[in-house]
A and B are shown apart, each in its own frame.
Chain A
Amino acid sequence: MTNSKRHILNGYGNGQRLLAVLLLITVSLTTSCGGGLQSALNPAGPQSQHISQLWWFMLIVCTVVFVVVLGVTLVLLVKKAQGSPDELPERESAESQRRKAFIVVAATAATIVILGAFLVDSFLVGRGLTAALDRKQGVVIEVTGHQWWWEVRYPDVDASSIFTTANEIHIPVGVPVTFTLKASDVIHSFWVPNLHGKKDLIPGKVSTIWLQADKPGIYRGQCAEYCGHQHAHMALWIFAEPREQFDEWRRNQIQSAVKPASDSEKRGQQVFLTSTCVTCHTINGTSAGANIGPNLTHVASRNTIAAATLPNDRDHLASWVDDSQQIKPGNRMPPNKFRPEEMQALLDYLQSLK
C-alpha cells in the first residue's frame, strides 16, 4: 500500500521521511498472514475455504483499485502546474473538460462493473454456504449460549445416549455437522473462524448453522457479540477427529460418572456433594443434578476449563475453584473457601472424572 507522498517529503526535514519509511516497514510486516488456530485466513472446512477464496479475490481487486486511485492522486500532485495562488482562476478549455468527463464516466463504469462482479461472486458463495447437503449421516449438536460459557448437548433418537458437555465440541472429520443455536440470556455469537462465519444466538429465536471440517485438528472459536463482563473469555474448542475416534469419545461421554476408586476420591466426592458445588453443577450418577453451571460428569476429559480460558491441570483447577473472581472477574461462579485437605480430595475426585 504505497501511501507516502514521495515528492512532498523531499521538501521537508528527514524527520518526516523517517516516519514514512517506518510506516512502510510496519505495513508490509503486518500483511504477513499468520496461521493461528483461530484465523479466517487458515481455512480447514469447505465453507471457510470458499469464504477465504472470496476474501483473496476481493483483496486483490481492491488493492489494485486502491493503488490506481492513489497513484493517480500522487501523479497529479507531481505534475501540478506552477502559478501563484492569488491570481483569479482560469476557465478550463471545453476540450479538456470533455476528455475529463469521459475519464470520470469510464471510471464510474469500471466501479459498477467491479461491484457487479463482487455482488455475483458473493451471491454464489453465499448460496453455496447454505446449500442443503444431505445431512443424513451428519451430526446435530445443540449449543446454548449462557453468560460467558457454552452448553453443548448432543441429542439422539434414543434418549439414553443423549449427553451434555460444555465449551468443547467433538465432531467427526469430513461429515456435515448442524448446530442448533439458542441463547438463554443475552445475544451471543457462535464463531469458529477456521470452519465457518459466525451466527448470532438470539434469545427467543433458534438459528441453525452447518459446517464441516475436512482436516482433523483443534479449532478455537470465540463469542463475537458483546455479552457482558466476561465476553472476552467466552471461547470454545472444536476437536475434529476421525469417525471412530469420535464414536469412542461419544460412548465415553454417554456413560455416567466414574465411581471414585481411592478413598481420597471418595472423600472428594463427599466434599463435592455436601458443599456449594452441588447447587449449580451436575454429575450424572450422583445426587448432584442442578444445571445452572456446566455439566461436570466428564470434566477431566476436557483440555480446558472456564470456557476454554485455563488449561485443565491441577493448579489451574485449584485456583479456579478457590476464587474464580480473580481470573474472570464478574463471572457467575462464587469463590469457595475449602480447608486444604478438603480441596486436595476434591481435586483428586474431579480429576478422576474422565
Chain B
Amino acid sequence: MVERSQNLPVDAYTEADEREIKELERVWACPPGIIGWFTDTDHKAIALRYVVTAFVFFLFGGIEAALMRIQLARPENHFLNPDLYNQVFTVHGTTMMFLFAVPIMTALGVYLVPLMVGARDVAFPRLNNYGYFVYLIGGILLYVSFILNTGPDAGWFAYVPLSGPGYSPGKRVDIWAQMITFTEISALCGAVVVIGTIFKMRAPGMSLHRLPLFVWAQLVTSFMIIFAMPAVMLASSFLASDRLIDTHFFNPAEGGDAILYQHMFWFFGHPEVYIIFIPALGFISSIVTTFARRRIFGYTAMVLSLIATAFLGFGLWVHHMFATPLPQLGQSFFTAASMMIAIPSGVQIFCWIATMWGAKLNIKTPLLFVLGFVAIFVLGGLTGVMLASVPLDLQIHDTFFVVAHLHYVLIGGSVFPLFGAFYYWIPKWTGRMLSERLGHWNFWLMFIGFNLVFFPMHQLGLQGMPRRVYTYLPNGGWGSLNLLASIGALILALGVAVFIVNFLWARRFGLIANANPWNADTLEWSLASPPPDYNFYRIPVVEGSNALWDRSAENPVVVGLSSTKRETLVTSVVDAVPELRYELPGPSIWPLLLALATAETFIVGIFTAWAFAIGAVLTFGVFIGWFFGDPNYENVAAKEPPQSEEPHRAPEVLRAENA
C-alpha cells in the first residue's frame, strides 16, 4: 500500500475520500508489463527514463574522455590510432552535448515542473512520450554506428569542408547529422511540453510573480530551445543534403560558403550551452533556498537576469569565429555582447551569496555541490570573459585553454549543480535518502579530480597546444602537464563511481525519506516520496512564492475534479484563475509508433531518398491512429452532459478570497 501522506494536515480522510483516492489510483495507473513500459504517459515515469538514459550516455561520454586522456598521457602515444581517436573525441563531444546535457535538463524539468506548479500531469503527455523515444533511437543510432566503426569523426560541430562530401567519405557524418535532427526533435517536444504546463496548468493562486525560480529557469530554457534548435536542424539538413543529393550550400566553387555553416551552427551553438546552463541556475536557486533556510534574495533581479541571459545568449555566437576573416568592427560588437552576458550571471551569484549571508546554513551534499559550482563556475566565467576579447581570443582560440574554459563552465556550471540536484531530489524520486558520507567523498573526489584535469589545460593552451590533437611531439614541453591531467581524470572518474555506489547502496539501505526530508518550500515536497501517479489528490491553492512555507493555516484546496477520468485543472496564464477541467489522454501506443516512423524516415533517408516517401505514408498512418485511435474520446462525447459554454466565469468562492 503506497504510504499516502497528503497535503491535508487539517483533516483526516473521510470514507468518501478513501474511495475517491482508490478510484484515482485505478484511473491514473500505468498499464502493467512491457506494454505499459511503452505506452505509459505519466510524466514522472517518462522523466525518470530520460534521466537514466541520459546518465548512461554520460557514463559512455566519461569512458570516451578516459580513452582520450590515456592517449594524451604521453607524447607520441600509440594507444589510439588517429582515425579511432577522431571518432572518440567526436562521439565524446556529441554524446555530452546532445545525448546527456540537454535531455537530462529537460528531464528534470518534465519531472519537477508539474509537481512544482501543482498539476496532475504535463500539458501534452503523448508528445512527451514521443520525445523520449525519438531521443532514445537517436542515441542508439549513434552508438550502434560508433561500435561498427562508423562513428562521426569531424568534431562535434563538424566544420564544413572537412565534414562535407569531399573530405568525409562514407556515412559517418550523415549519421551524425541525422542524430542531431533526432535529439533536436526530442528537445523541442520537451520544450513545448514544459511551456504548455507552466503557462496553462498552474495551481490557482500561483501567479507569475509567485513562480518558483526553478520553474522560471525551465520556462526561459524552453523558449531558448524553441528559437535555437531550428538553426542546427537546418545546418545538419543542409550538410546532409550537400552530402547525399549534391546541393551546393557549402561548396565555394558553386556559390556556397563554408562560413555559412559556422554562422548557422553557432547561432544554435551558443544558446545551446545556455540551454544546458540555465536549468542548473534553477537547481541552485532551489537548493540555496532550502539549505539556507531562507527566501531567495532579490527574486525579481534573479528572474530578470535569467531572461537577460536568454536574450543575450542569442547575440554573441560570432565569438566562436573570431579567427575567421570576418570584418574587425563586427567582431568587436560581439566582444561587447559576450562580455555583457557575464553581468546577469554575476548578479545571480551575488544574489545567492547574499541569500546565504548570515543564514543558518545546513551544510549537506547538495549545498556542497553548489559551493563547488561557485568556485568552478566563477573561474570558468572569468576565462570566458578573457575569450570574449578578440586579440586574446586569437591566441587562445581552438587551444587547450578553450577546452579548459568549456569544461569549467559546463562541468562546473551544470554537472556540479546536476549532482547537487540528484542528491536533493533522489529522495523524492526513489523514497530513499542518499548517504551523506559517501556524498562528501563523491563531492571532494570530483572537485579535486576536476581541477587536476582541467586547470593545467589553461597552461597547455597558452603554451601552444592546439585542440583535438591525437598526440604531440615530445620536445613541446607539454608532456608533464598532460600526464597530470590524465591522473586527474582518473580521480574524477572515481568520484562519479562513488556516486553510482551511493545510489545503489541507498536503493537497499538508504533511510526511508518522508514527504519533506529537507523542509523545503516547493509544492513537490508536499507529496509522498515517490509521489503517487495522480500527483495531487486535491490541487492546493498557492498563497506565496515559497508555496509550503507561506501556506496559511486552513490551507485552501481545489475540489470537484472528477476521479473517473484523467482530469487536471487548466488555469489562465498570468493569474492562474481556473478556466477548464482538461481531459488528459491516457496511455497510448501511438507515440512509440510515430517515433519508429520518424526513425525510419531519417535513418533510411541516409541510404535512399525514397525513405521520405515511405516515411510520409507511415507517419500519416500513425497520425490517423493518434487522432482517432485513443479510446477515451469515445465515451466522453457520448454521455457528457451539455456543458456551460463560458469558460471565463470563474467560481465566486476564489474571487472573494484573494481580492
> Could you tell me which A residues sit within 8 Å of B by CB distance?
1, 3, 5, 8, 12, 16, 19-20, 22-23, 26-27, 30-31, 33-34, 36, 38-41, 48, 50-51, 54-55, 58-59, 62, 65-66, 69-70, 72-73, 76-77, 79-83, 85-92, 96-97, 100-101, 103-104, 107-108, 111-112, 115, 118-119, 121-123, 125-127, 129-130, 147, 183, 185-187, 189, 191, 193, 196-200, 202-208, 220, 222-233, 235, 309, 329-330
Pick the contact of B385: A83, A118, A198, A224 (CB < 8 A).
Answer: A118
B472, A200: Cβ atoms closer than 8 Å: no
Main SS of the interface on chain A? mixed
B519 located at the interface, meaning its Cβ lies under 8 Å from any Cβ of chain A in the complex: yes
How far, in whole Å, are A223 and B162 apart by their CA atoms in the complex?
14
If the complex has contacts A73-B371, A203-B252, A226-B467, are A108 and B346 also in contact, measured as CB distance less than 8 A?
A: yes
Closest Cβ of chain A to B657, distance in Å, is 23
> In whole angstroms, how far apart are the Cα atoms of A59 and B83 in the complex?
37
Contact of B323 among A90, A200, A204 (CB under 8 A): A200
Question: In the complex the two chains form, is B448's CB within 8 Å of A229's CB?
Answer: no
Rounded to whole Å, the gap between the CB of B85 and the closest CB of chain A is 9
B456 x A30 contact (CB < 8 A): yes
The answer on a CB contact under 8 Å between A185 and B167 is: yes
Contact A104–B350 (Cβ < 8 Å): yes
A230 and B259 CA atoms in complex are apart in Å by 23
B332 touches A36 (CB 8 A): no
* Selected A-B contacts with CB under 8 Å, 12 pairs: A3-B375, A36-B477, A80-B356, A81-B358, A104-B347, A122-B390, A126-B331, A147-B167, A185-B167, A204-B257, A226-B159, A229-B82
CB distance from A172 to the nearest CB of B (A): 23
B512 at interface (Cβ–Cβ under 8 A)? Answer: no
Given A23-B451, A62-B386, A111-B342, residue A198 in contact with residue B162 (CB < 8 A): no
B511 on the interface (CB 8 Å rule)? Answer: no
Please determine whether A65 and B382 come into contact, CB atoms closer than 8 angstroms.
Answer: yes
Q: A101-B298, A185-B161 are in contact. Are A73 and B476 (CB under 8 A)?
A: no
Inter-chain CA distance A119–B343, complex, in Å, is 13
Closest to A19 in B: B448
* B344-388 Cβ-contact flags toward A at 8 Å (1 or 0): 001101110110111111110000100100110011001101101
Contact with A along B482-495 (1 / 0, CB 8 A): 00100000000000
Which of B336, B339, B350, B398 sits near A107, CB closer than 8 Å?
A: B350
Bound complex: CA A89 to CA B549 (Å):
8
CA distance A83 to B518 in the complex (A): 14
CA distance A249 to B252 in the complex (A): 37
In the assembled complex, the CB of B417 is this many whole angstroms from the nearest CB of chain A, namely 15
Tell me, yes or no, whether B585 is within 8 Å of chain A by CB: no
The answer, among B160, B294, B392, B396, for a CB contact under 8 Å with A89, is B294
Given contacts A36-B463, A202-B259, contact A73 B293 (CB under 8 A): no
B149 close to A (CB within 8 Å): no
Q: How far is the CA of A330 from the CA of B546 in the complex (A)?
A: 61
Quick one: which of A23, A73, A108, A127 contacts B343, CB cutoff 8 A?
A108
Contacts of B340 in A (CB 8 A): 115
Per-residue 0/1 for B465-480: is the Cβ within 8 Å of any A Cβ (1 yes, 0 no)? Answer: 0111111110011000
B473 x A309 contact (CB < 8 A): yes
Which chain B residue shows the least CB distance to A101? B298
Instruction: Check if B49 is an interface residue, CB within 8 A of chain A.
Output: no
Complex Cα–Cα for A16 and B643 (A): 67
Q: What is the bound-complex CA distance between A80 and B356, given in angstroms?
A: 8
Closest 9 pairs (CB-CB, A-B): A197-B394, A204-B252, A122-B389, A83-B360, A207-B325, A38-B464, A232-B469, A85-B362, A62-B382
Chain B 291-308 per-residue mask, 1 if CB under 8 angstroms from chain A, else 0: 101110110010000000
Q: Please give, as numbers and ranges, the residues of chain A lying within 8 Å of B155 by CB-CB distance.
A: 226
Contact (A55, B392) CB under 8 Å given A80-B360, A202-B258: yes
B253 CB–A CB distance under 8 Å: yes
Is the CB–CB distance between B386 and A70 below 8 Å?
no
User: A81-B360, A88-B549, A123-B335 are contacts. A100–B386 as well, Cβ < 8 Å?
Assistant: no
> A38-B476, A48-B395, A83-B293 known; 19 other A-B pairs, CB under 8 Å?
A5-B371, A30-B481, A58-B385, A62-B382, A76-B353, A76-B361, A80-B360, A104-B354, A119-B336, A122-B390, A126-B331, A126-B332, A193-B464, A196-B394, A202-B258, A224-B398, A226-B155, A226-B159, A232-B471
CB distance from B329 to the nearest CB of A (A): 10
> Do B323 and A203 touch (CB < 8 A)?
no
**B563 on the A face (CB < 8 A):** no
Q: Assess the A189–B323 pair: CB atoms within 8 A.
A: yes
Q: Judge whether A70 and B378 touch: CB under 8 Å.
A: yes
Q: Are A197 and B360 in contact (CB under 8 A)?
A: no
**A77 touching B549 in the complex, CB below 8 Å, given contacts A12-B440, A119-B336, A197-B395:** no
- Do A79 and B325 touch (CB < 8 A)? no
Q: Which residues of chain A are near B354, meaning CB under 8 Å?
A: 100, 103-104
Who on chain A is nearest to B255 by CB? A204
Residues of A within 8 A of B86 (CB): 228-229
Is B328's beta carbon under 8 Å from chain A?
Answer: yes
CA distance A228 to B476 in the complex (A): 21
B295, B297, B368, B397: which contacts A104 (Cβ < 8 A)? B297
CB distance B360 to A82 under 8 Å? yes
Task: Tell me, yes or no, whether B100 is within 8 Å of chain A by CB.
Answer: no
**Alpha-carbon distance between A50 and B390 when the two chains are bound, in angstroms:** 12
Give the distance in Å from the alpha carbon of A91 to the alpha carbon of B296 in the complex. Answer: 11
The yes or no answer to B145 lying at the interface (CB within 8 A) is no
A225 CA to B486 CA, complexed, in Å: 23
The answer to whether B353 and A73 touch across the interface, beta carbons within 8 angstroms, is: yes
* Interchain CA distance A32-B134 in the complex, whole Å: 49
Q: Residue B635 at the A interface, CB < 8 A?
A: no
Instruction: Tell me which of B363, B459, B519 contacts A86 (CB under 8 A).
Output: B519
Tell me if A19 and B444 are in contact (CB < 8 A).
yes
Contact indicator B452/A198 (Cβ below 8 Å): no
**Within the complex, which residue of A54, A92, A193, A222 is in contact with B391, where a contact is CB–CB below 8 Å?**
A54
Q: Does B644 contact A (CB under 8 A)?
A: no
- The answer to whether B363 and A8 have CB atoms under 8 Å apart is yes
The answer to whether residues A228 and B399 also contact, given A96-B358, A193-B464 and a CB cut-off of 8 A, is: no
Q: How far is the CA of A92 from the CA of B357 in the complex (A)?
A: 11
List the B side residues contacting A329 at CB < 8 Å: 81-83
Q: How far is the CA of A103 from the CA of B349 in the complex (A)?
A: 12
Q: Is B98 an interface residue (CB 8 A)?
A: no
Q: B161 contacts which of A186, A189, A224 (Cβ < 8 Å)? A: A186
Tell whether, in the assembled complex, residue B259 and residue A51 are in contact, meaning their CB atoms are under 8 Å apart.
no
**Chain A contacts for B159, CB-based, 8 A:** 186-187, 225-226
Is the Cβ of B325 less than 8 Å from the Cβ of A39? Answer: no
* Given A36-B464, A79-B358, A27 and B451 contact (CB-CB distance below 8 Å): yes
Docked Cα-Cα span, A190 to B551, in Å, equals 64
CB atoms of A62 and B385 under 8 A apart: yes
Given the known inter-chain contacts A51-B392, A80-B361, A228-B162, please indicate yes or no for A189 contacting B398, CB distance below 8 A: yes
Shortest Cβ distance from A200 into chain B, in angstroms? Answer: 5
Inter-chain contacts of B14 with A (CB < 8 A)? none
Looking at the complex, which one of B83, B258, B368, B382 makes contact with A187 (CB distance below 8 Å)?
Answer: B258
Q: Would you call B393 an interface residue if the criterion is a C-beta within 8 Å of the partner chain's C-beta atoms?
A: yes
Does B324 have its Cβ within 8 Å of any Cβ on chain A?
yes
Chain B contacts of A101 at CB under 8 A? 298
In the complex, the answer to whether A330 meets B323 with C-beta atoms within 8 Å is no
The answer to whether B325 and A202 touch across the interface, beta carbons within 8 angstroms, is: yes
B234 on interface, CB distance cutoff 8 Å: no
Q: Check A203 against B258 for contact (C-beta < 8 Å).
A: yes
Closest to A219 in B: B464
A91 to B477 CA separation, bound complex (whole angstroms): 57
| A-side contacts of B298, CB under 8 Å | 101, 104
Does B503 have its Cβ within 8 Å of any Cβ on chain A? no
Closest residue to B155 on the A side, CB-wise? Answer: A226
Flag if A122 contacts B392 (CB, 8 Å).
yes
Chain B residues with Cβ below 8 Å from A58 are 385-386, 389, 392
Q: How far is the CA of A122 from the CA of B375 in the complex (A)?
A: 26
Query: Which of B389, B396, B451 is in CB contact (< 8 Å) with A3?
Result: B451
Question: Among residues 22 to 59 in chain B, which have CB atoms less than 8 Å away from a CB atom of chain A?
Answer: none
